[in-house]
Amino acid sequence: MDAAIREYFASLDVYDEDAEQSPTRNEIDALQSLILGNLSSDEAATIITRRAAAATDEFTMRLRRSLLYAVVNQTAVVLPPAQAPIVDLLKSIRVLHSREDASAHSRQVWANLDGWMVKLADSLEIYEGSFLRITDDDGQAARNWCNAVTFTARLTATRDPVIGDLIFFRKCFGSIVRALDIRYSPQARTTEPDIIAAAHLFILSAPVLHERCQTGDFVGDLWEGAFQGEAVWREDMKKLSTGRWEHWKRRWEVIAEDNDLTSEARKLAREALAAM
């Protein structure tokens, strides 16, 4: 796995520092060292944010943050083993720039990860759209979607008001609907990736999802075009409830015993059910 991590980081385009077209080599190396376990999240946060925080104008600071967040989010999707360290990194960035000696501006843009939320939310929409549309990429779009949803589940589980914002869960809710609320076809191209993606949302963040069902959360931005077929949940697809939570349990039981699905999908269904 270490070799794959190093190969990925070696493939990234890193331009001259003055070009302002990518994070610097020093920043990329710090991210790699974090994921390899050679650097703590606090140390990596200090190195990775130093140059952007030192920018002398708002435009340059915003540009450097944007380039940094793009690579961080991309890495979490391309390299699933990087997800847990990246979650810790995001936490550390928030804490580092929340200190009393930090400027009010620094606390605003870094402690709130200004720009990161929008970038991740937009990326989730792109990953889902590609997954649903692209059919000839050897499954890469499906893997990206599953990995992006898994990353979202890890973020949701933190309950952090910024990195765990429920907007990310809502952007991934389509997989739950397609896997558990619509009658699926085991042979359909999107079925197993959606089951795998949805399962990880439950495995990693079931307590948060249960709370949202108890409070009757409303997924208002659910894209209705993201799911088609016969509904097995007869009520409002955008509304969470304790009744829907029980319905999901029954659906995971069905999936866990469906021999037309792969052993991986059935195993993850059992794990999702156990997490509930």
CA distance 43 to 48: 9
Question: Is 236 found in the same domain as 132?
Answer: yes
Residue 234 lies in a domain: yes
Measured CA distances, 7 to 1, 10, 37, 107, 200 (Å): 10, 5, 16, 35, 27
Question: Is 141 found in the same domain as 18?
Answer: no
**Are the C-beta atoms of 81 and 35 separated by less than 8 Å?**
yes
Residue 3 lies in a domain: no
**Are the C-beta atoms of 237 and 139 separated by less than 8 Å?**
no
**Domain edge (last residue) among 61, 85, 114:** 114
pLDDT of amino acid 108? 73
* Mean pLDDT, rounded, of the chain: 90
Beta bridge partners of 218: 239
Question: Is 69 found in the same domain as 100?
Answer: yes
pLDDT of amino acid 240? 96
Residue 4 lies in a domain: no
Residue 2 lies in a domain: no
Is the pTM higher than 0.85? The answer reads yes
pLDDT of amino acid 16? 65
Question: Is 245 found in the same domain as 196?
Answer: yes
pLDDT of amino acid 193? 96
pLDDT of amino acid 228? 77
Residue 155 lies in a domain: yes
Question: Is 238 found in the same domain as 160?
Answer: yes
In which domain, by residue range, is 270 found? 117-275
CA distance 180 to 252: 7
Question: Is 19 found in the same domain as 154?
Answer: no
Among residues 117, 160, 272, which one has the least CA distance to residue 210?
272
Question: Is 71 found in the same domain as 206?
Answer: no
**Domain edge (last residue) among 63, 87, 114:** 114
Among residues 69, 61, 74, which one has the least CA distance to residue 93?
69
Q: Per-residue pLDDT tens for 173-207?
A: 999 999 999 999 988 999 999 999 999 999 999 99
The structural domain count of the chain equals: 2
Q: What is the DSSP letter of 130?
A: H
CA distance 162 to 117: 8
Question: Is 217 found in the same domain as 190?
Answer: yes
pLDDT beyond 60 at 19: no
